[in-house]
Amino acid sequence: MTTAETLIADSSERKRLSALPPLAYGRLRLPSRYLLSPLAGFTNLPFRRIVREIGGVGLGTTDLVNARGLMDRSSKSLYLIETCPEDRPFAVQLFGSDPVVMRDAAQFLEARGVDSVDINMGCPVQRITKVGAGASMMCHVDSTIELVRIVVESVKVPVTVKMRLGWDHTQLTAPTFAREFEQVGVAAVAIHGRTREQGFSGVVDRTGIRKVVEAVERIPVIGNGDIRTVADGERMFSETGCHGISMGRGALANPWIFRQFVEWETTGKYSPAGHFEDRLALLMRQFSYLEEQRGTDRAIVSFRKMAHWYLKAMCVSASLRSRMQSARTRLEFEAAVNEIAHRGPTRGTRTGLLPDLVIPVPAGPVEHW
């Protein structure tokens, strides 16, 4: 990396942050205030490993895991909580509406050595909300607080909650919940600055996140939503007063984002995201981790979603993208990779800055996500 490529973004907000104590969930001190947000279907062990190898990640969390599935030892739930020594600190996100099952699942996770348990109160998908879990918990104040209290009291590891601003614009209950959660011992709350009704539409309401920050006394609040660049993160900190930020889609588009934030916080400068060649190497490494975990045939199919993000960010032509997506064997997969490597990006250069990726949002009614 040459100095000419270093990006400079110093500011008073950056200086304020660098003077703050490190982010901690109770006694669990996190290596940075830049966290990976759970993304079902993406934040599996192979992806967590590669973002951790790049550096800067304060905490990695699994996709949402069904607490009941975990207690039934379903193969999907057990796969989702797989981890490795490098995958630290590590949180598992649980969803469920039965306090006893949630308690048992949290205790099971603690016995398996997880660093923290997160409770999902933000998922808008009907499959989850119709069983009283995810965002629908924001409609039931007393039973939700009781469930969270039971989980907190059942384990020694820190318990956190991830939620939206509320069910809809008439019920912006996140500040009330955050205050109550703090009282029952929750170690931190993460807020996606939209309501369930909004899905992923509209813009993130940073004023709404600020109200949550103001509602609590001591626990950290993690601001989340639409952070794709260091400038976006800086704005989240300065407009909300939050203590940490989490990135989901921004990390898929740019797995270097956590390292960029840490560089920025400590020096006021940061290096650019990886170029075409870096991304190709990362793609192959992530695929090999997935292959290790799931075997070649399943890895080829389940990597398709992730490959889409890599290849779009690498400006690979549509025909080559579809060639990789339709590969069925290791040979076909390798042939597609070789062709992609041979042809290079359709725009920009192999080792220069690539144009920013336009980040898609899940489309259609939330019921279908």
Ligand X SMILES: Cc1cc2nc3c(=O)[nH]c(=O)nc-3n(C[C@H](O)[C@H](O)[C@H](O)COP(=O)(O)O)c2cc1C
Q: Which residues bind ligand X (CB under 6 A)?
A: 37-41, 63-64, 93, 120, 122-123, 162, 192, 224-227, 247-250, 362
CB 129 within 8 A of CB 135: yes
Tell me the two tokens of residue 191: 């807020």
CB-based burial of residue 130 (10 Å sphere; 0-12 exposed, 13-18 middle, 19+ buried)? exposed
SS3 253: helix
Nearer to ligand X, 246 or 336 (CB): 246
For residue 367, what is the DSSP state? G
Cβ count within 10 A of residue 5? 11
Q: Which residues contact 322 (CB under 8 A, 6 or more apart)?
A: none
Q: Which tokens hold the place of 241?
A: 């007063």
Catalytic one of 123, 139, 242, 315: 123
- Rounded CA-CA distance 31/23 in Å is 8
Residue whose C-alpha is closest to residue 169's, from 214, 138, 190: 138
C-alpha–C-alpha distance, residues 128 and 287, integer Å: 29
Report the residue closest to ligand X, judged by CB.
248
38 preceded by a cis bond (ω within 30 of 0): no
Active-site annotation holds for 123? yes
Q: Could you tell me the smallest distance in angstroms from the CB atom of residue 29 to ligand X?
A: 23
Tell me, what amino acid is at 30?
A: L
**Measured from the CB atom, is 64 or 336 closer to ligand X?**
64
DSSP H stretches of helix in 39-91: 45-54, 67-71, 75-80
Nearer to ligand X, 264 or 333 (CB): 264
Tell me the two tokens of residue 73. 């030892």
User: Of 41 and 295, which has the nearer Cβ to ligand X?
Assistant: 41
Minimum CB distance to ligand X, residue 196 (Å): 11
Ramachandran assignment for 311, one of left (phi > 0), alpha (psi -120 to 50 degrees), beta (any other): alpha
Question: Least CB distance from residue 23 to ligand X, whole Å?
Answer: 17
**Pairwise CA distance, residues 328 & 331, whole Å:** 8
Query: Which tokens go with 265?
Result: 């916080």
Residue among 247 and 337 whose Cβ is closer to ligand X: 247
Name which of 154 and 198 has its Cβ closer to ligand X.
Answer: 198
Q: Rounded to the nearest whole angstrom, what is the least distance from the CB of residue 309 to ligand X in the complex?
A: 11
Smallest separation (angstroms) from ligand X to the CB of 127: 12
| Cβ 283 to ligand X shortest distance, Å | 19
Residues noted as catalytic: 123
